[in-house]
Amino acid sequence: MHILPFLCALVAASVGLTEPELAKALRGDVPVRSETITAPNGKASGRGVGAIVIDRPLDEVWQTVIRYEDKAEYQPRVEKVWVLDKQPNYIKVRMQVDASVTTARYTAHFELNHEQHSVHWRLDKTAPDNTIADCDGSYQLTEVTPTRTLVVYQNWIDSGRKIPRFIQDYMARRSIPTMLRAVKKRIESGGTWRK
């Protein structure tokens, strides 16, 4: 039995990637895919998944990922961010995002798991000014080496509009790599890179 392929398969599965996607991320590329999921409303929907390796230690990447106050400085399409509540394991954030044909505004709950280095978010459906119907997503960080960190991003958004699936898939394939590369630039620049 070859132990290395087995370990690669195990690591890939544990972070939600296929072996080829993990290999691609480790080579410096940004693998992206759209997958069909059952949305909270029971309907079939698409979720975007992407990954990137950042050449910085896990804790440094984690501190940037969980800091929302400066996201508008470097994340594409994010125009404004308001941190409404901040606890050790929870952040409530209102965001304004350029959604190409319109401006999206929404409030979301972000659950922080410091031990697992994961963030999970969902729409605050009690916020009266949300312009999207729903969202759900996550970041999962994994140490590759003491100086390299794998970031896996997943996101699902229900805009509330009838948008053909092929357009949603196209947008995911374009927007996820751009966003992940911006996060990488921000962290690898020591927090100085801006869009």
Q: Is 194 domain-assigned?
A: no
Domain encompassing residue 48: 3-188
Could you tell me the pTM of the whole model?
0.89
Q: Is 195 domain-assigned?
A: no
pLDDT of residue 16: 86
pLDDT of residue 2: 44
pLDDT of residue 3: 41
Q: Is 61 domain-assigned?
A: yes
Q: What Å distances lie between residue 70 and 65, 67, 93, 159, 180, CA to CA?
A: 10, 7, 12, 24, 15
Walk along the chain (195 residues) and give the pLDDT tens digit of each residue. Answer: 344 455 455 567 678 899 899 999 999 999 999 887 666 666 656 688 999 999 999 999 999 999 999 999 999 999 999 999 999 999 999 999 987 777 889 999 999 999 999 999 999 999 999 998 888 999 999 999 999 999 999 998 877 765 555 555 555 667 899 999 999 999 999 999 999
Q: Is 59 domain-assigned?
A: yes
Q: Is 80 domain-assigned?
A: yes
Q: Are 51 and 152 in contact (CB under 8 A)?
A: yes
Indicate which CATH number applies to the domain containing 131. Answer: 3.30.530.20
Q: Is 119 domain-assigned?
A: yes
Q: Is 23 domain-assigned?
A: yes
Instruction: Give the neighbor-by-neighbor strand order of the sheet with 134-145.
Output: 32-38, 44-54, 148-158, 134-145, 118-123, 103-113, 90-98, 78-87
- What single-letter DSSP state applies at residue 71? H
Q: Is 193 domain-assigned?
A: no
Query: How many structural domains does the chain have?
Result: 1
